[in-house]
Amino acid sequence: MAPLPSTLRRLVAILGLVHLFSTVSADLDSNLTGAGVRSVFPGDSDYASASAAFNLRFTLDPAAVAYPTTPQEVSSVIQAGIDNNLNVVARGGGHSYVANGLGGKNGSLVIDMSSMKAISINSSTNTAIIETGNRLGDVALALNNAGRAMPHGTCSYVGIGGHSAFGGYGFTSRQWGLALDPIFAINAVLANGTIVRATEDSYPDLFWALKGAAPSFAITTSIEVNTYPAPSYAIVMEYSWSNMDFSTAGQAMYSFQNFSLSGPASPFAGELVISKGSQAGQVTFAFTGAWYGDEGSAVSTLQPWLDTMPTPTSSQLVGNGSYIDTVAQLSGSSLDTSQAPDSSDTFYAKSLMTPEDDPMSLEACTAFMKYLANEGFSSDTNWFVEVELYGGPNSKILEIPNNATAFSRRDTLFTFQLYASSSNSLPPYPEDGYSFVDGMVDSVTSNMPSSWNYGAYTNYIDDQLENWQTLYFNGNYPKLQSLKDQFDPNNIFMFPTSIAE
């Protein structure tokens, strides 16, 4: 007798859920349709592509993906989200490492910004208004066509929306700052649907929070930025050392740190790139750099470090000397993102930001390289590590105080990106990939004092990170919490690692 009632209960429960679900989606559907916003719903033929993540480790089912074309429409979508009791998120370029552009969890209402791609440049003020649906390649091309530039990362397909919300590091950052630094006004829609223009004078607290933690506070529709003259000479430098034993590699990273602390001029940029060696105990060690100054001083700036290094296996200057060519070379793809489809990957990534005033010991550098040379050799993942130069004296990133904007980790010498993909870049992600990447970070931190004040980078966002409030936001977290309470009291803009009240 027992099975029947329980089956019935289950049936009633399922029907109830289906009913609830269809009621919700019917309202949402009519709300969005009523607002005139093109939207894609579960069951639509384009839902799978509209809800696909860049990182295929995540498969998420948003409540809908809406494509507004104006700030007013963004406001209507937020209002529809509120009326349907949904969390709301923006998707810029969709390149979040943990699919936060899809909400980072199931059931969020996604505001896809890709229909808002205007860029207007005022050539008398040398300012630009950039809608947040643009990708970095589009921004670089449009500014360069007017002889201008701004700091931003390398990948053409990364969205300026997410990138500038959380920082935005690129090879011009030592001379111009992070992507968020040239922003002097942000046009945004708040959690109650109000459209605002935030500056240092109007909504100053909101402006502060948007520069480093924007997704927790608003949907930004455009940023207004000061631009720089595109450098008249620029070049990329590439050096590589194959089959480097781990102790030489540890020494090489340590001496790169020493060189960095000596304060190379701000037009100098660079990162170490470490990848799998051809036998256990070795790594492939490389340096990619750029120079935005006078022709002839690129290599001489790097020479003090090269003098400490073994002879490279290969070295070359890449590019034709024009600024936009270095942007294209560093991106490794077309800058015009309408020309080819975006890629995808299946990966786990972490970050580590080392404090400028407390550099790594030689022991920590060597332990790191030993781990990569041994565990990295046997790992079945495709992995790389980038050690990006943020600091050293002369870096613009560090000139701005940590508490001047929500971005809290400016006093950083190096930002490590530690990244491992499944062997064929497709799911499933191997379970040992997590412990492998976690161990990379541990190999450094466990060889430094427990008081070491390291951080993590919000744009290399990590769904497994413990203590992320401190690692990402450090001393700015309490102020962010109180502003969250003020600007989003109902936690509409909630996602994994959003600011909690």
Ligand X SMILES: *[C@@H]1O[C@H](CO)[C@@H](O)[C@H](O)[C@H]1NC(C)=O
475-499: string of b/e by CB count within 10 Å (b at 16+)? ebbebbbebbeebbeeebbbbebbb
Asked if 177 is part of the footprint of ligand FAD (rule: CB under 6 A), the reply reads: no
Q: For ligand FAD, what does the binding mask look like between residues 2 and 41, x meaning CB under 6 A?
A: ----------------------------------------
Which H helix or E strand runs over 299? helix 298-306
Q: Minimum distance between the CB of residue 314 and ligand X, rounded to whole angstroms?
A: 22
Residue 264 zone, left/alpha/beta (φ > 0; ψ -120 to 50; rest): beta
Query: Is residue 93 helix, strand or coil?
Result: coil
How many Å apart are CA 221 and CA 104, to the nearest integer? 21
Among ligand FAD, ligand X, none, the one that 79 touches (CB under a kind-dependent 5 to 8 A) is ligand X
How many Å apart are CA 158 and CA 144, to the nearest integer? 18
Asked if 394 is part of the footprint of ligand X (rule: CB under 6 A), the reply reads: no
Q: Minimum distance between the CB of residue 14 and ligand FAD, rounded to whole angstroms?
A: 32
How many Å apart are CA 405 and CA 180, to the nearest integer? 9
Q: In terms of CB distance, is 304 or 310 closer to ligand X? A: 304
Q: Which one of 22-30, 147-155, 354-362, 434-442 is the stretch in contact with ligand FAD (CB under 6 A)?
A: 147-155
Which H helix or E strand runs over 247? helix 246-261
How many Å apart are CA 42 and CA 63, to the nearest integer? 7
Asked if 148 is part of the footprint of ligand FAD (rule: CB under 6 A), the reply reads: no
Q: Which of 57, 91, 276, 409 binds ligand FAD (CB under 6 A)?
A: 91
Compute CA distances 476 → 405, 414, 481, whole Å.
Answer: 9, 20, 9
Q: Which of 344, 403, 445, 481 binds ligand X (CB under 6 A)?
A: 403
C-alpha closest to that of 266 among 176, 326, 355: 176
What's the per-residue H, E or C state across 407-443?
Answer: CCCCCEEEEEEEEEECCCCCCCCCHHHHHHHHHHHHH
Q: At what angle do helices 246-261 and 298-306 cross, to 10 degrees?
A: 130
What's the per-residue H, E or C state across 208-234?
Answer: HHHHHHHHHCCEEEEEEEECEECCCCC
Among ligand X, ligand FAD, none, the one that 153 touches (CB under a kind-dependent 5 to 8 A) is ligand FAD
Q: Which of 94, 267, 359, 433 binds ligand FAD (CB under 6 A)?
A: 94
Structure tokens at 116: 């808002």
Asked if 59 is part of the footprint of ligand X (rule: CB under 6 A), the reply reads: yes
**292 and 324 Cβ atoms separated by less than 8 Å:** no
Q: Which of 25, 27, 146, 468 binds ligand X (CB under 6 A)?
A: 27
How many Å apart are CA 164 and CA 184, to the nearest integer? 12
Q: Minimum distance between the CB of residue 488 and ligand FAD, rounded to whole angstroms?
A: 12
Structure tokens at 114: 């890709």
Among ligand X, ligand FAD, none, the one that 172 touches (CB under a kind-dependent 5 to 8 A) is none
Q: In terms of CB distance, is 384 or 407 closer to ligand X? A: 407
Asked if 75 is part of the footprint of ligand FAD (rule: CB under 6 A), the reply reads: no
Q: Which of 93, 212, 277, 355 binds ligand FAD (CB under 6 A)?
A: 93
Asked if 194 is part of the footprint of ligand X (rule: CB under 6 A), the reply reads: yes
Among ligand X, ligand FAD, none, the one that 435 touches (CB under a kind-dependent 5 to 8 A) is none
Q: Which one of 186-194, 363-371, 391-399, 459-467 is the stretch in contact with ligand X (CB under 6 A)?
A: 186-194
C-alpha closest to that of 294 among 343, 239, 234, 366: 234
Residue 480 exposure: Cα atoms within 13 Å on the Cβ side: 27
Q: Which of 71, 81, 168, 392 binds ligand FAD (CB under 6 A)?
A: 168
How many Å apart are CA 454 and CA 365, to the nearest integer? 15
Asked if 251 is part of the footprint of ligand FAD (rule: CB under 6 A), the reply reads: no
Asked if 420 is part of the footprint of ligand FAD (rule: CB under 6 A), the reply reads: no
CB-based contacts of 384, cutoff 8 Å, min separation 6: 273, 274, 275, 419
Q: Which of residues 256-285 bind ligand X (CB under 6 A)?
A: 258-259, 262
Q: Minimum distance between the CB of residue 486 and ligand X, rounded to whole angstroms?
A: 6
**71 and 113 Cβ atoms separated by less than 8 Å:** no
Among ligand X, ligand FAD, none, the one that 324 touches (CB under a kind-dependent 5 to 8 A) is ligand X
Q: Binding-site residue total for ligand X (CB under 6 A)?
A: 34
Asked if 465 is part of the footprint of ligand FAD (rule: CB under 6 A), the reply reads: no
Please count the other Cβ atoms lying within 10 Å of the Cβ belonging to residue 120. Answer: 12
Among ligand FAD, ligand X, none, the one that 165 touches (CB under a kind-dependent 5 to 8 A) is ligand FAD
Structure tokens at 238: 């590439």
Q: Which one of 22-30, 61-69, 166-174, 440-448 is the stretch in contact with ligand FAD (CB under 6 A)?
A: 166-174
Asked if 393 is part of the footprint of ligand X (rule: CB under 6 A), the reply reads: no
Q: Which one of 28-36, 149-157, 291-299, 352-360 is the stretch in contact with ligand FAD (CB under 6 A)?
A: 149-157
Q: Minimum distance between the CB of residue 135 and ligand FAD, rounded to whole angstroms?
A: 7
Instruction: Catalog residues that contact ligand X under the rule CB under 6 A.
Output: 27, 30-31, 34, 59-61, 79-80, 83, 105-106, 122, 124-125, 190, 192, 194, 255, 258-259, 262, 304, 308, 320, 322, 324-325, 328, 401, 403-404, 486-487
Instruction: Catalog residues that contact ligand FAD under the rule CB under 6 A.
Output: 54, 89-97, 100-101, 113, 132, 153-155, 158-159, 161-163, 165-170, 214-215, 219-220, 459, 495
